[in-house]
Structure 1
């Protein structure tokens, strides 16, 4: 629809704004309509910008997928109305003096990009890469739901942590560029795939009519908690997998080192046997080889469960070697 042809009553009806609410808006309809029309005329250029930004972000290692959108002209107009109604939950005084010439500097999400990732902790690296690529226009904001712990962000002193009234969880990074004559702001929301799924369903249910049905709200709240639990489980599974891989790598390394050590000891024992003329020493060397072989089997049998100590193995072998060289008998092993 062409914004200039839009009727006020149709606009109010579609966006669930009463005439009484609109009378509390200090802006006249002609101004709101002009802003919407100006934005509509620039959508093609904004889409080109958004697509280029999205391609850059998609190359970030921790980013699973990227979505982007340009704010629809009518949604922009609806936002301006709600932001200028005093007493409403959305009121923000910075919108009072909005105009066709400055709306693009007051509305920071004309271009909206969502960078989705798998694990909660991935957001830190993604935000770091965003900061390297673009200079942020305002403080990074981490939105959490009521009941979430702020401890996850204790090392992010420069971030602003806020409870989102609707329960959304995401990190918001806003930057500006000057592609043509006017400055354009872009808002990047960094969130997990689970959180994106919940927020999309919540948005589809609530947003069109600003539904405040208690039953719907209760179930969406449960859904929100499940999404948060899924994120926690994802982080736990990743940590568990990392620990198992690390242990397996250490075990393999120890097995290789132990095999190399055993070869060196066998070589030394063979030289000792060849150089010694004593039958007793030769027998002790044979006993030592047998004991070491038995010990190796026992250690490797327990290694998967206990991650045996390399130092203990070396100490044991060294002790046996000393007994051989001193002519002692090997018992009680």
Structure 2
């Protein structure tokens, strides 16, 4: 991996021989469990699910003591043997649970997005900044074999200065059921922009060297989902967008175009990420390809990247950071800056004007 670990503010005298983790939320938490289960001297010692019956069932399937299948994250945090947690809950719970875990002296990996609102993300960032524990954002696409290899090409200067990126995750039909936390803004923070767009935007921004964002101009739509709910006679809250497009400018003059949707009249679902520089361009999705001009001719390279999945690699990195007491590749500051970009996109969509990012 193209990872340069930095030490945390204060080093533990001795790293734990075995890392004991808890998983809070058993939906995407399943991917975290799979990652932990592949590592030596790592044990999942507890979990949290608000449904007691489901929590018990998952505990039995994962081999976790049923007595450690809790309905409250505070009960999990009270386990003396616990070293770290994965926060895999609905978005509006991310910040408070992560704050509680850090204050309890636990290392934290938090699923994307950092929080449901920028205010929550700021609060979490301030706590993480003061903590001597690892706080890591779960931006799994940074850890894939192909994106790590592409990052090496970029850092070696083979694409020159990167000045333009375009990315997106567009679904033709991919909206969650109405009334779920996904379609309720107070719980999710938004629709496909904060659900899917966070993946595409973070990947492009990271590949481009994480330039400082300065403004966003966007259009945010909610035109098809109301029609769909009415046609299907579905009850429940649905107060988030179904699609969005955005233009983000950076302090170094670079820019990114982003588009996302849950419902859109488009041929098929597409997840894509491209970055362009003065010496070449590259695509991380839907295929890994490098495009250059050499000796007056177009040259396309399709490197054979290692087949490394993002989720297991990010979990391995999290555990490595705990053991070596180093900062992760995806930090609390990264999480906050991505939230600032998402927040600016939403505000621009509401106002119809470009929004400055501070």
Alignment TM-score, normalising by the size of structure 2: 0.24
Query: Would you tell me which structure has more helix in proportion to its own residues?
Result: 1
Q: TM-score when scaled to structure 1?
A: 0.25
* Structure with larger RCO (C-alpha < 8 A, sep 6+): 2
- Looking at secondary structure, tell me which structure has more strand per residue: 2
The structure with the largest alpha-carbon Rg is 1
